[in-house]
A = this chain, B = another copy of it.
Amino acid sequence: MKYFEDIQVGETFELGRHTFTADEIKAFAQRFDPQPFHVDEAAATQSHFGALAASGWHTASIWMRLMVEYRRRMAEAARARGEPVAGVGPALGFRDMKWLKPVYVDDTIEYMSEVIELRPSDSRPTQGLMTVRSTGVNQHGALVFSFVSTTLVERRPDVP
C-alpha cells in the first residue's frame, strides 16, 4: 500500500475477477451457510433465487482474498522499484454491506474499491484513516455486492 499522503479520494483499486463454480459455492455453503438455495441445485430452483446462488459471505470472503493479493502485488512492485511499502492496519469494521443481486453458478464478479474519504487519525499520529467503497459487478454489468470499510494506513515518516 502507498502511504496515506500519497492516496487520493477517487482513486480506485482494481482487485481482479473471480468466477464462482458450483462446487465452490456448495463447499463454502456446506461449511458456513447451509441453506438449501446455497447447497442444492434442485432446492434452489424452488427458492426466491430460482437457481443455485453463492452465500453472501462467500462473495465477501472472495473480496477479502483479492484485496490481500492486490496489496501483496502492490508491495512487491514497490519493493522492485526500491520504494518503501506503507503498513496497512486491520480493518476497523465496515458498514452498509449490500447483496444487491444473486451470484449464480459460473458468474464472474469483478471487484473494485474506490477511496471515498481520507482523514488523519486523532488517536494515532503515525496513521491515517482510509475509507473505501468496495463493489462487485457481474459479467452482465450488474452491481451484485457493495460495502464501505475503513482501514488504518501508515503516514509518510517524513511528513511532520
**Footprint of B on A, CB under 8 Å?**
31-35, 48-49, 55-57, 60-62, 64-65, 68-69, 89-99
Contact of B68 with A33 in the complex, beta carbons under 8 Å: yes
Complex: A68 Cα to B96 Cα, angstroms: 22
Contact of A35 with B91 in the complex, beta carbons under 8 Å: no
Across the interface, A65 reaches (CB within 8 A) one of B32, B48, B99, namely B32
If A89-B48, A90-B48 touch, whether A64 touches B32 (CB-CB below 8 Å) is yes
Contact of B31 with A68 in the complex, beta carbons under 8 Å: no
Complex: A97 Cα to B93 Cα, angstroms: 5
CB-defined contacts of A60 to chain B, threshold 8 Å: 57, 60
Complex: A65 Cα to B55 Cα, angstroms: 11
How many copies are assembled?
A: 2
Q: Distance (Å) between the CB of A36 and the closest chain B CB?
A: 10
CB-defined contacts of A33 to chain B, threshold 8 Å: 61, 64-65, 68
CB-defined contacts of A95 to chain B, threshold 8 Å: 95-97
Q: Which residue of B lies closest to A31 (CB)?
A: B65
Contact of A93 with B99 in the complex, beta carbons under 8 Å: yes
Complex: A62 Cα to B31 Cα, angstroms: 9
Q: Which residue of B lies closest to A95 (CB)?
A: B95
CB-defined contacts of A98 to chain B, threshold 8 Å: 92-93
Complex: A2 Cα to B31 Cα, angstroms: 25
Contact of A97 with B94 in the complex, beta carbons under 8 Å: yes
CB-defined contacts of A93 to chain B, threshold 8 Å: 96-99
